[in-house]
Amino acid sequence: MKAAKISFRKRIALHLFKRFKKNEAKIHQLNYILWECTLRCNLNCLHCGSDCTKDATVKDMPIPDFLTALDQITPLVNPKHTMIVLTGGEVLVRQDIEMAGIELYKRGFPWGIVSNGMLLSEKRLNSLLNSGMRALTISLDGLEKSHNWLRNNPKSFDNALAAIRRAAKIEEIKFDVVTCVNRENYNELSELRDLLIESGVNEWRVFTIFPIGRAKENDRLQLNPEEFRGLFEFIKRTRKEGKILLNYGCEGFLGNYEKEVRDDFFFCRAGINVASVLADGSISACPNLRGNFV
């Protein structure tokens, strides 16, 4: 696949954006803290970069430990401008998420979760909302057959779609769906888009899969160059249609597709505006740097 030349107009825009990035790095304002609150998971996904299991060897970090770390940096950040995102593993295998959410809410931090949707019943959703949750991301990785193949569970699609339809009705939260594109679901992206629109979803993000962890064991997870181009063309068409806001993930510079397949030029904010607390207590710039966490 031959790379297209970057237009003169886009080169000028990229030059100006380079200045913006330097200024952002200089200001160095922390806007997102991702807490990998567990490595346990109720699924056994083929693409899991963290190789999460039902009984992880790394114990869940106690909530007081995370809050203590957060309290230590609170004098340096504005809680109203710092989003806390709980990731895993699967966040909802923990039964104390609401307790953590209440404590974050008391401290003035907006917070949200990333989930596979398996455990997001109407009762649990209401419990999270009552604990102050303001953002939610749910994964849907294709139509029924391809999603269940990737998630390695025959009930995964039905549970995820039901959770998506519940969440799409909640106006007071920021909600989106994420999809890991692979060779099994590549040819059904149009149908998946229509399903999400029919389900009331307004925002959608798509990613491709890093070949690490379990993800390196299956070549069906990796797109070839022509499929990458086809994916970007699909995103461009969908964005022009305007029925759902579709963005490609933050996975590197895309040449002439910059600003065509996502809202902004590529800018990895890891270590600049984003920090992570991993399950073992270590600090990282971004959990994406070690695997697929959605």
Domain that holds residue 173: 24-289
Output the tens digit of pLDDT for each of the chain's 294 residues.
Answer: 555 678 888 888 888 888 888 888 888 889 999 999 999 999 988 887 555 555 567 899 999 999 999 999 988 899 999 999 999 999 999 999 999 999 999 999 999 999 999 999 999 999 999 999 999 999 999 999 999 999 999 999 999 999 999 999 999 999 999 999 999 999 999 999 999 999 999 999 999 987 776 777 788 899 999 999 999 999 999 999 999 999 999 888 898 899 999 999 888 888 889 999 998 888 888 765 544 444
pLDDT given at position 285: 81
The number of domains in the chain is 1
Task: Report the C-alpha gap between 190 and 195 in whole angstroms.
Answer: 9
CA dist 21 → 82, 263, 274 (Å) = 19, 15, 14
Domain assignment present for residue 13? The answer is: no
Domain assignment present for residue 68? The answer is: yes
Domain assignment present for residue 94? The answer is: yes
Task: Report the C-alpha gap between 37 and 277 in whole angstroms.
Answer: 8
Domain assignment present for residue 11? The answer is: no
pLDDT given at position 293: 42
Q: In a 3-state reduction of DSSP, which class is residue 231?
A: helix
Domain assignment present for residue 8? The answer is: no
Domain assignment present for residue 151? The answer is: yes
Domain assignment present for residue 16? The answer is: no
Domain assignment present for residue 60? The answer is: yes
CATH number of the domain enclosing 89: 3.20.20.70
